[in-house]
Amino acid sequence: MQLMNRQRSQVYMFGLFVLFLAGCGKQGGMPHGGFAVSVVAAPVKEERIEEKISLVGTLVANETVEIKNQVAGVIEQIGFEEGQTVKKGQMLFMIDAHKLNATLAQTEANLSMAQTTFDRLSSLISAGAISQQEFDQAKSDLEVNKAKIDLIKAQLAETVLPASFDGVMGERKVSVGQFVEQGTTLSYLISQDPIKAEFRTPERFLGQLKEGQSIQVTVAAYPDDIFDGDVYFIDPQVEEQTRTALIKAKLPNSEGKLRQGMFANLDLLVNVRSKALTIPEEALIPKGDEVYVFAVDSESKAQIKPVKVGIRLAGKAEILEGLSAGENVIVEGYQKVGPGSPVKMKDNSSETTESNSTENSVK
């Protein structure tokens, strides 16, 4: 019952609106059967529309590591220049290994002695000439020396610090001849091709996002360049405090223009309609929650039509329902006509483009 009452109310309001517009036409001195009113009309066009979400984010290196030494010592050699491109496995730092080599030689001598002692006591224990405790001690000394040698060899391997992947070296923080404690940051290595873009999007847009979607990035350093990329990660969680989700994308960066930490403006393409209907925004006649247009029929008469409006473009509006491609709508002069008024159309001289886009800016 409530639905029927609401429908009747809408029909009644629409009827009043039509009478109101008809009254406007009569006040303009143009009865329905009189002379044709000169109006400016424009066709309903079929165009490609790209719907985008405008976001801001930060560029992050694809891979980045701090280079820290695992053994203390004096820097003996540095194998790169700051900002240089290096290959995986290339030597970056070498720490003086003289003390470790001396310790290794000493431990190897101790191991030889321990092995000789163990072999001798092994023959004596079977004859009962020594106690089990003496034999166990000799065996323990042998194992300890073997473990020490393994440890020293591992430390020697750590005196050479190679690049763990292809990338670009950052600032060098130490010099040849400098003593460094274990865990000192010596430099950093980054890989920025491809480079990542990280941004957060409000949860209301998550239904329009999917992996593989295209993005377009601009940065202040190159305002005239557009960098294309693709979404590869959508966080399965939404942050409760901000109600946003983390989105990541990768962008090719072979020229090295994009750098970690840059502020990025991102256009995320969420929808493309290749055959969307558009009309000049001036043709829309809002009335409360409803929107109408005056269309010109085949008999050159003005007919009022309710329409459903989609996205707004620069000087245009997308029409989802109520019109068809090729129809003509009045953009100037509809105040002088009423439903059924004869009209004489003049071409709309404003130029239109074949492709449009709209953006939802998110701060």
With beta carbons less than 8 A apart as the criterion, state whether 140 and 117 touch. no
Give the DSSP H/E element, type plus range, for residue 302: strand 302-312
pLDDT of residue 270: 75
- What confidence tens digit (pLDDT) does each residue in 114-173 have? 888 888 888 787 777 788 888 888 889 889 989 999 999 999 999 999 999 999 999 999
For the chain, how big is the Rg over CA atoms in Å? Answer: 39
CA angle (211, 216, 220) in 5-degree steps: 135
Q: Please name the residue ranges forming H helices in the chain.
A: 2-27, 98-127, 132-157
Please classify residue 300 by burial: count the beta carbons closer than 10 Å to its beta carbon, then call 0-12 exposed, 13-18 middle and 19+ buried: middle
**CA distances (Å), origin 164, targets 44, 71, 113, 214, 285:** 60, 18, 39, 31, 65
Contacts of 241 (CB under 8 A, 6+ apart): none
Residue the block writes with tokens 């163990």: 118
Contacts of 138 (CB under 8 A, 6+ apart): 114, 117, 118, 121
- Distance, in Å, from the CA atom of 266 to the CA atom of 56, rounded to the nearest integer, reads 6
Contacts of 87 (CB under 8 A, 6+ apart): 163, 166
Largest CA distance in the chain: 136
- Distance, in Å, from the CA atom of 101 to the CA atom of 106, rounded to the nearest integer, reads 9
pLDDT of residue 33: 52
- What confidence tens digit (pLDDT) does each residue in 212-254 have? 988 889 999 999 999 999 999 999 999 999 999 999 999 999 9
- What confidence tens digit (pLDDT) does each residue in 345-360 have? 876 654 444 445 555 5
**What count of Cα atoms within 13 Å lies in the side-chain half-sphere of residue 192?**
21
79: pLDDT confidence band, cut at 50, 70 and 90? very high
Domains of the chain: 20-48+274-361 (2.40.420.20), 53-63+192-272 (2.40.30.170), 70-96+159-183 (2.40.50.100), 97-157 (1.10.287.470)
The pair of structure tokens assigned to 285 is 């006649």
